[in-house]
Amino acid sequence: MAIEVKAITRRYLYNGVTLPDIPGMEPKEVRDVYSAQYPELVSAEIELGGVVNGVQEVTFKRAVGTKG
Q: What's the confidence (pLDDT) of residue 66?
A: 56
Name the burial class of residue 2, with classes exposed (0-12), middle (13-18) and buried (19+) by CB atoms within 10 angstroms of its CB: exposed
Three-class DSSP category at 27: helix
Domain boundaries, the chain: 9-61
Q: What's the confidence (pLDDT) of residue 11?
A: 95
Three-class DSSP category at 36: coil
Q: What's the confidence (pLDDT) of residue 62?
A: 83
Q: What's the confidence (pLDDT) of residue 36?
A: 94
Supply the pTM of this predicted model.
0.78
Return d(Cα 23, Cα 8) in angstroms, integer.
Answer: 11
Whose CA is closest to 12, among 51, 47, 63, 64? 47
Three-class DSSP category at 15: coil
Q: What's the confidence (pLDDT) of residue 25?
A: 94
Q: What average pLDDT values come out for the chain (68 residues) when binned by 10 residues?
A: 87 93 93 93 93 93 70
